[in-house]
Structure 1
């Protein structure tokens, strides 16, 4: 408990202070870090805290809705009560980015940017102190290292999706990537510059490959195994990175490895809807879902339902499915049953009426953040097969997902690339993919149903496919180049 208290305090201080503040602390603070991370107990407490920080960075509203919101899967529910009851408006904390008008000085994603580099710094501290542990075996130290590396790579990858144009934006990926931090901020002022996109992806891949080579059988942390990085879900992340990069051979082989050797099976057709409707446990095909925080009595203080949830007709969240998405499903598609269709009191051009809104069943009750599940691997393998001239294998994988959903099977490979894109949109909705898939495929953004933004469409390529780096950070680091147009 003593270590837990001190480590939690230490990481809280890190998360609340800027890089410059941390650098200006008295030397005694560094001694306390040495004391906290001098043994296995302290390092494991720190690793537990790192997972908590990661979950707290990607589960809340802004990042959780970003890709689906920008891509057109989401529209807003009306205000539930009060003087504004029935009115539909854009939530203020995503209003700028939703209109593709985010401003560097007051960026909606300031917290995400800062928190991402805070947790990367924490991962680096763990990586630097773990090799010197005298009370841990080599296997234990390698396991700690593997998980910290996976988290570091994941955080950098998410940053690259938000702040760097897609990998093939330039022919040689020489456009700006992100700052890739591999050392903790402990002494001296550091002013790192952004890597190119090619360099960024190379560093992400190296971290993931190193992690995969160091895993033991099990995490040393207490909790559900699906809540921690392990070899199989780190390979799933690597497959996603290869897909985003357009490295088709490696994307195919890595996704195939996960499908074949992970020991996880696709949730059955008969159980698909029921699995998503479970109030606590994740869907059975989960590869990684971060645990949500519970109090001493087992109550959940926050979950994905705080973003997408529906409880009653006067108690629901703002984010619902657009008809742009819902209308993609065939009437027989089981995934169409994964929407709660609710008539809500709405003002339409000043007239009071009831309008149906579709809340996703994926994130009701105590739902956690779905990071990786097996169906994504089938979709990655399908796309990679198509891009390597194996269209028959690609169609077979798409039909596996469609058959599970009771959707009409494909019988010819004509238009398969677009079918794969649409299948990803239907299967992975609200799991953080659509906008990044649009950019990766060099498609245009087209948002119709319920769009309240000043800009509802965006033509690729556009400088607005990425967000501005917050002004505070560019002011702090003179080598940190801002994205164009900001």
Structure 2
């Protein structure tokens, strides 16, 4: 049999490097060097450590630690990668990736390393430990494998290309650790990938400990939450999946948590430990974090500061200053100073426009009190420290998954409207009992965008709605829905090793 090295170093890393984890710091190695064949994973302690290795890899920069979140923001209409800083994500933001670029290569490799960790845990025969703990470890690994394949699909799958949907070319779905046969390592259709994801999630739900509450590992609620996320995504291509999204989100919400109160909203993003609205987080702390490669550093002016908001879009989106999400603690312009020689004027509470040529040359007098100079529109409130946990899922996402699925399927619309108004009551200063008297898709999508901005949802949300992408300083003409550039290229080293099919146009 021909061996296929899927992710280049994943097997080598896993064979010589998973480590034990007595807490949630998620150390990366099981022993200094471990021969999995000579000393297989057989105890529940080893099983937990193996799954911890998968979580550890998930929080690295090429995956949830930074890149996959940034990919979604700089390819949508929330933000772009500005030139003149560290020049990170320039080719992502401009849709100019090639099969040899680092971003598609590093993320592909890292996610398949996560899948390798999960597969090692799923395939292990555990001989010591309680059945409950063994099942919980297997459930977590199955959920990780499902989410990882979903994330690969939304980056590298061709579901958007030519609006191929479920018939488009997907990604390999890897279910075993170790030696692979070429006939098992091929790109499945998007439909086949979807069905494998659902099966892994359902298998995880059958095994998971219903009493597990650690939000830094997969719980029953988090698994239902991922199922609702996945189903909402696939509903764009098969409407019957909206029913799965609705019921999964509903079951997840019934398991606890709630919408964070307005008074706690800003602080909830800087808290070191999971808050009442947390569903699933990836652990970081003052010792174990990504430092210069963190999400904080890529957003913050005092860091690298590459990722900035598309000011015209976000000014309009957040014009209502009674919304806590519009507050200066959450977003706005950095270094905003009154300046007679400024290039902008203030025309609303959070709205600025560029001065005209006549205003600049003095032909038309502008009151100095409303003349400003400033730098870029930025995210201030999310990922405020390099040590912050990565919030993979919040209760508010579950709520919006339910609401949107209800609107699209015309089911549970009364409950969805009530839920939308509960969210509005905790976001707007006047705490309206019923801000919205009817449920419309446009309202739901706007509120969802405001709630989840800068958290890595925007590109996929636009793709689900089959929208053309906005013009930005990096993509002057924007990007049409259906373009081959909407799918990342399969890395060249992967093509060379496995001979799988490349995406269109690469």
| Common fold by TM > 0.5 | yes
Partners in 1 of 2:63 and 2:342 — Cα distance?
Answer: 33
Unaligned 5+ residue runs, structure 2? 1-10, 19-32, 236-240, 344-353, 355-359, 361-371
Using structure 1 for the length normalisation, give the TM-score.
0.81
Residues 158 and 164 in structure 2, CA contact (< 8 A), matched pair in contact too: no
Greater Cα offset, 36-45 or 381-390: 36-45
Aligned-residue RMSD, C-alpha = 3.2
Residues 333 and 405 in structure 1, CA contact (< 8 A), matched pair in contact too: yes
Partners in 2 of 1:300 and 1:468 — Cα distance?
Answer: 26
Please show how residues 50-129 of structure 1 align to structure 2 within 5 Å. 50-56=54-60, 57-76=62-81, 88-89=83-84, 91-129=86-124
Number of the residue aligned with 1:359: 379
Cα distance, 1:303 vs structure 2? 4.4
Partners in 2 of 1:356 and 1:172 — Cα distance?
Answer: 36
Number of the residue aligned with 1:461: 482
Q: 1:405 to 1:182 in 2, by over 3 A?
A: same
Residues 127 and 148 in structure 1, CA contact (< 8 A), matched pair in contact too: yes
Q: 1:300 to 1:125 in 2, by over 3 A?
A: closer
Number of the residue aligned with 1:275: 268
- 3-state SS of 2:166 partner: coil
Q: 1:215 to 1:64 in 2, by over 3 A?
A: same
- 3-state SS of 1:370 partner: strand
Number of the residue aligned with 1:233: 222
Greater Cα offset, 383-392 or 336-345: 336-345
- 3-state SS of 1:445 partner: coil
Task: Provide, for residues 142-191 of structure 1, a one-character-per-residue CA deviation record: whole Å limited to 9, x for no partner.
Answer: 11110000100010000011011347965771111111001112366666
Number of the residue aligned with 2:5: none
Number of the residue aligned with 2:44: 40
| 2:451 equivalent to 1:431 | no
Cα distance, 1:397 vs structure 2? 2.9
Within the candidate set 372, 378, 382, 2:403 is matched to 382
Residues 285 and 389 in structure 2, CA contact (< 8 A), matched pair in contact too: no
Cα distance, 1:75 vs structure 2? 3.9
Residues 235 and 258 in structure 1, CA contact (< 8 A), matched pair in contact too: yes
Q: 1:335 to 1:127 in 2, by over 3 A?
A: same
| 2:205 equivalent to 1:183 | no
Residues 167 and 198 in structure 1, CA contact (< 8 A), matched pair in contact too: no
Partners in 1 of 2:258 and 2:394 — Cα distance?
Answer: 10
Residues 163 and 177 in structure 1, CA contact (< 8 A), matched pair in contact too: yes
Partners in 2 of 1:166 and 1:90 — Cα distance?
Answer: 33
Cα distance, 1:38 vs structure 2? 2.8
- 3-state SS of 1:228 partner: coil
Number of the residue aligned with 1:343: 335
Using structure 2 for the length normalisation, give the TM-score.
0.78
Number of the residue aligned with 2:357: none
Cα distance, 1:412 vs structure 2? 3.4
Question: Which is helix-richer, 1 or 2?
Answer: 1
- 3-state SS of 1:377 partner: helix
Number of the residue aligned with 1:204: 197
Number of the residue aligned with 1:304: 295
Residues 167 and 197 in structure 1, CA contact (< 8 A), matched pair in contact too: no
Partners in 2 of 1:454 and 1:356 — Cα distance?
Answer: 17
Residues 286 and 372 in structure 1, CA contact (< 8 A), matched pair in contact too: yes
Partners in 1 of 2:222 and 2:39 — Cα distance?
Answer: 32
| 2:308 equivalent to 1:320 | yes
Please show how residues 396-407 of structure 1 align to structure 2 within 5 Å. 396-406=418-428
| 2:412 equivalent to 1:412 | no
Residues 264 and 374 in structure 1, CA contact (< 8 A), matched pair in contact too: yes
| 2:227 equivalent to 1:244 | no
Greater Cα offset, 198-207 or 353-362: 353-362
Residues 76 and 89 in structure 1, CA contact (< 8 A), matched pair in contact too: no
Partners in 2 of 1:61 and 1:44 — Cα distance?
Answer: 25
Residues 161 and 483 in structure 2, CA contact (< 8 A), matched pair in contact too: no
Partners in 2 of 1:368 and 1:374 — Cα distance?
Answer: 16
Partners in 2 of 1:332 and 1:288 — Cα distance?
Answer: 29
Q: 1:456 to 1:429 in 2, by over 3 A?
A: farther
Task: Provide, for residues 120-149 of structure 1, a one-character-per-residue CA deviation record: whole Å limited to 9, x for no partner.
Answer: 1121111111xx222112222111110000
Task: Provide, for residues 341-395 of structure 1, a one-character-per-residue CA deviation record: whole Å limited to 9, x for no partner.
Answer: 421799989x996435333311112322111111111111111111122444443
Cα distance, 1:456 vs structure 2? 4.4
Within the candidate set 277, 280, 293, 1:285 is matched to 277
Cα distance, 1:90 vs structure 2? 6.8
Aligned residue-pair number: 437
Residues 36 and 43 in structure 1, CA contact (< 8 A), matched pair in contact too: no
Task: Provide, for residues 21-59 of structure 1, a one-character-per-residue CA deviation record: whole Å limited to 9, x for no partner.
Answer: xxxxxxxx9954441523222222222211101111423
- 3-state SS of 1:320 partner: strand
Within the candidate set 242, 247, 251, 1:257 is matched to 251
- 3-state SS of 1:120 partner: helix
Partners in 2 of 1:13 and 1:455 — Cα distance?
Answer: 46
